[in-house]
Structure 1
Amino acid sequence: MAHLIIVGGGISGLSAAYYARRAAPELKITLLEAEARLGGKITTVVEEGFVLEGGPDAVVRYKPWAIALMKDLGLEAQMVGTIPTQPSALIHDGHQALPIPPGLQMVIPGDLRAMAMSPLLSPLGKARAALDLVLPKGPEQDEPFGAFITRRLGPQLWERLAAPLSGGIYGGDPYAISTLAAFPQLKALEQTHGSLIRGALQQRKERGSREAGGLFASLKQGLGSWVEALGAHLPEVEVCLGTPVEGLRQRGEGWQVLTAEGGLEADAVLLATPGPVTARLLQGLHPAAAAALGEIPYGRSATVSLAFPQEKLPPRVGHGMLMAANAGFRVRGFTWTDQKWAARAPEGYSLVRAYFSGVDGDEATLLNLAKVDLSRLWGRLPEPQRAWVFRWEQGLPQYTVGHLNRVQQALEAEALPGLFLAGAAYHGVGLPEVVRMGQERALKAVGFLQGASLPPVTVEPGGV
């Protein structure tokens, strides 16, 4: 019986195990996870009537892979959308909180009237953004996302709109994001329409807006119930928790996976691990791929959730608030969790979540920073009755300029027979993208083990 070992029990590794088992019921599958729990950064706490997320809190509906997996697991009846509200979110410019203008296509204005009426930009900022309609096309090659948006739409639109929106997705320094890796659609709009605004207007006309509460989905008891369902659907997969992989060797036509308990023999190995872990495991097998993965930076991230008596909080608008670039906040943004999702706090309580990226500090420091920034928004801050802090030293991979070349070099390791790579380091940091890559690499591994002649599986950059 052929043996597939999957290293990594985050959502990518779990998806790979699920789809490999479904495609080949006879296959022996072992999943090794270094931590004592499955799910990776999906961390849901359910206690005393609170349901809160330590990591990601939603999947986007218009990227179908995560939703399709949830439905396949029988979770459709548990799926929920965000509570409808207008505006859905605000951006604080350092002086006041202003609504995000409707009609955006990704981070680009797709409704000229809404942008003209928005107080988020000054008249001069709006005039500079409108120059995008007459500016010549820029270069086709990659460039930092901040430079790209500033060149097309001006510095004010970048700082007050595009930077907080893109930083909320990718973390790290949004200016340094690779445009081609993270926002290839926007490069295509410029090259096709000669203008981002003109392209966004056409795009919105063709597919409509993603507003009105239909963009995000979760589960009634949080995304942790997705992880539980995946685990329950792997009864014949050997899951080994608390089992970090220390090394990887080629052994004849197969592989040996080294752990503290000894070596495990496998016919194929799928590494669904963070970039630095994968780089370490590949160091002696494919130095060039390991070096490329080592060049993908990871930034710290953290969330702080605070529970308050509802009567002590000021009115809050929408689902939350993002902070403009250079506005003096340490928090990247706040989510009003009880206003974004139904039944996430017991009656009489509100739940607020702060998101940090690139901030160093222990739990006490992060908690204090969240309270300081909330005090700046609200003036007098009531003492939270509960607090939960989650820290990720290796948060999200940073898709900086040159990312696509690094990924191409890293995936050359798959030329080693029976080795496959998946995860957030490659073609998308969102949950749908890592599910898709886990599925595709799993099916590729099954094809290899069954001796099938399959066409190469490629995953295009996901973008937003």
Structure 2
Amino acid sequence: MTVVADASDADVDVAVVGAGITGLALTHALAERDVSCVTLEATGEAGGVIDSQPLDDGLVAEHGPNRLRLTDGIAALVDAAGLRDDLIVADDGLPLYVYADGALREVPFDLSTFVRTDLLPWYAKLRVLAEPLTGDVRPDESVGSAVRRSFGRTAYRNLVEPIYGGTYGSDPDRMPVRRALPALLRMQEEHGSLFRPLLARATGDRETPPPVSIEGGLQRLPSALAERYADRVRRDTPATAIERDGERYAVSTPDGTIAADDVVLTVPAPAAADLLERVAPDSAAALAELRYNPLAVVAMYSDARREGFGYQVRRTESLRTLGVSWHHSLFGRTGQYTAFLGGMDDGRIVEEDPADIGTIAADEFEAVMDAAAHVRDVWVGQDALPAYDESWAALDRLDLPDGVTLATNYTARVGVPGRVREAERVADRLA
């Protein structure tokens, strides 16, 4: 069946709502399986949370993810988009730091760093080694509780809280393991403890795909995919309602109606809740309860020349910055650093003047790095990050009708590689 993107109506196997990376990966996967689809995007640009703004001198303000891991799924999408030659591959051996007690202290990703780092005192290192004796992680306990019990309070405060909690802008004590970090449960089930797989990574027995970016910004990936599948992707075409039409579904848009056997929603929870009102009101009410965290992203230029991934800030420090990514050393964007502020504990920062947010980021960067920073771009998002907190219990009430699927970062694994893997799974099932 041929899909014509500018037609007012269409009859397809699958209607995909949202042309973020999940929706476009699904569009690609369905096309490869000869499944007809139309993908609806409310805005004029593809990408969703992947949002890049090129700046002067080759710098790029990334308002969403700042890097990807080059998994097989990501590599296949890069090739499909024709961007393989534009990949920038970072050195995965670069150090990551935590700012604690007035200094940058290296995160131990290998045994030699574990021995020498001053981020963990000797007694905390011994406590980490005792993890196999601490008992199983429970699905309904919090990430904070599970990590403190497994690895000790100091490892939690100096490592997990700033790195994991800071990345998502949430409090790990409010994040249930089964919703926020199911990988812990899988690791425990597979290996019998958490220490064994961590040790395997530290000794080089488990390789991880390298971090990558793209010349001109990560948004070039979804943009190129949307162009490749221009016959399937309709931009500036929001889905406004979903209704039953016999055994099929009718998806309303301002330009007409899409008739489809299956509907896949890849949009944020509030948008999905609105669309499900007529076909699954109880599920819509559950999705409306999910909380998101605010975030401010500040792109800066500095003469600082440190090598590494960047740093996260320990929660007990007197800084509002959650962390800083060092694009300078990661991707050769000379002098570029990106700061993240906000999250669950400091959500009101996004209500402040962008110039003031930039000043906070630059002043705190100078305090940590001993080098001045010049603000190049400030972006704020009120609902930027899924909180993965106790509100995620509402997902237990989801009861979607046959033919409606949620393929999203709040119902399955977070992170772009996880989104691509889920798109592949959904495409296999629908095919």
**TM superposition score category, shorter chain reference:** 0.7 to 0.9
Q: Which residue number corresponds to residue 183 of structure 1?
A: 181
Distance 1:24 1:187, change over 3 A: closer
Is residue 2:277 matched to residue 1:286?
Answer: no
Please give the alpha-carbon distance, in whole angstroms, between the structure 1 residues aligned to 2:177 and 2:196: 18
Q: Which residue number corresponds to residue 243 of structure 2?
A: 249
Match of 1:96 among 95, 100, 103: 103
Please give the alpha-carbon distance, in whole angstroms, between the structure 2 residues aligned to 1:374 and 1:118: 22
**For 1:323-362, what aligned pairs fall within 5 Å after superposition?**
323-342=313-332, 344-345=333-334, 350-358=335-343, 359-360=347-348, 361=350, 362=352
CA contact 2:248–2:259 (8 Å) conserved in 1 = yes
Match of 1:373 among 364, 378, 401: 364
**For 1:278-427, what aligned pairs fall within 5 Å after superposition?**
278-308=272-302, 310=303, 313=304, 315-342=305-332, 344-345=333-334, 350-358=335-343, 359-360=347-348, 361=350, 362=352, 363-378=354-369, 381=372, 384=374, 387-400=376-389, 403=392, 406-407=394-395, 409-410=397-398, 412-413=399-400, 415-416=401-402, 418-427=403-412
Distance 1:207 1:355, change over 3 A: same
Match of 1:75 among 69, 83, 92: 83
Deviations 1:84-121 (A, max 9, x none): 664x2211014211111232xxxxxxx3x542322112
Q: Which residue number corresponds to residue 32 of structure 2?
A: 22
CA contact 2:19–2:233 (8 Å) conserved in 1 = no
Please give the alpha-carbon distance, in whole angstroms, between the structure 2 residues aligned to 1:291 and 1:433: 26
Please give the alpha-carbon distance, in whole angstroms, between the structure 2 residues aligned to 1:234 and 1:390: 29
Match of 1:435 among 398, 420, 431: 420
User: Which sits farther off after the overlay, 10-19 or 196-205?
Assistant: 196-205
User: Which sits farther off after the overlay, 251-260 or 298-307?
Assistant: 251-260
CA contact 2:290–2:391 (8 Å) conserved in 1 = no
Cα shift at 1:56 = 0.7
Deviations 1:283-306 (A, max 9, x none): 232133223323332111231101
Distance 1:197 1:292, change over 3 A: same
Is residue 2:271 matched to residue 1:277?
Answer: yes
Q: Specify the code of the residue in structure 1 equivalent to 2:323.
A: G
Deviations 1:237-289 (A, max 9, x none): 14131x33332211223222233455444443221111111112112321332
TM-score (norm 2): 0.86
Cα shift at 1:146 = 0.8
Cα shift at 1:394 = 1.9
Cα shift at 1:409 = 4.2
What RMSD in Å do the two structures reach over aligned CA positions? 2.7
TM-score (norm 1): 0.80
Deviations 1:418-454 (A, max 9, x none): 3222121111120011122233324434x3xxxxxxx
Deviations 1:353-405 (A, max 9, x none): 001242332423321221231132245635x2x511222222122223584x6
CA contact 1:89–1:318 (8 Å) conserved in 2 = yes
Q: Which residue number corresponds to residue 63 of structure 2?
A: 54
Please give the alpha-carbon distance, in whole angstroms, between the structure 2 residues aligned to 1:218 and 1:238: 24
Q: Which residue number corresponds to residue 171 of structure 1?
A: 169
| Structure 1 portions without partners, runs of 5+ | 104-110, 448-464
Cα shift at 1:122 = 2.2
Is residue 2:235 matched to residue 1:240?
Answer: yes
Cα shift at 1:165 = 1.8
Please give the alpha-carbon distance, in whole angstroms, between the structure 1 residues aligned to 2:195 and 2:125: 12
Distance 1:326 1:190, change over 3 A: same
Aligned pairs, number = 414
CA contact 1:65–1:433 (8 Å) conserved in 2 = no
Please give the alpha-carbon distance, in whole angstroms, between the structure 2 residues aligned to 1:202 and 1:320: 24
Q: Specify the code of the residue in structure 1 equivalent to 2:57.
A: G
Match of 1:153 among 151, 154, 158: 151
Q: Specify the code of the residue in structure 1 equivalent to 2:96.
A: A
CA contact 2:46–2:235 (8 Å) conserved in 1 = no
Q: Which residue number corresponds to residue 31 of structure 1?
A: 39
CA contact 2:43–2:235 (8 Å) conserved in 1 = no
Please give the alpha-carbon distance, in whole angstroms, between the structure 1 residues aligned to 2:231 and 2:220: 20
- Percent sequence identity over aligned pairs: 24
Please give the alpha-carbon distance, in whole angstroms, between the structure 1 residues aligned to 2:262 and 2:126: 57
Distance 1:139 1:216, change over 3 A: closer
CA contact 1:178–1:402 (8 Å) conserved in 2 = no
Q: Which residue number corresponds to residue 121 of structure 1?
A: 120
Please give the alpha-carbon distance, in whole angstroms, between the structure 2 residues aligned to 1:355 and 1:139: 30
**SS of residue matched to 1:334:** strand
CA contact 1:421–1:441 (8 Å) conserved in 2 = no
**SS of residue matched to 1:394:** strand
Q: Which residue number corresponds to residue 457 of structure 1?
A: none
Q: Specify the code of the residue in structure 1 equivalent to 2:20.
A: G
CA contact 2:291–2:391 (8 Å) conserved in 1 = no
Cα shift at 1:322 = 1.1
Deviations 1:138-189 (A, max 9, x none): 4543211111111121111111111122124433223322323343343355
CA contact 1:142–1:402 (8 Å) conserved in 2 = no
CA contact 1:423–1:438 (8 Å) conserved in 2 = no
**SS of residue matched to 2:290:** coil
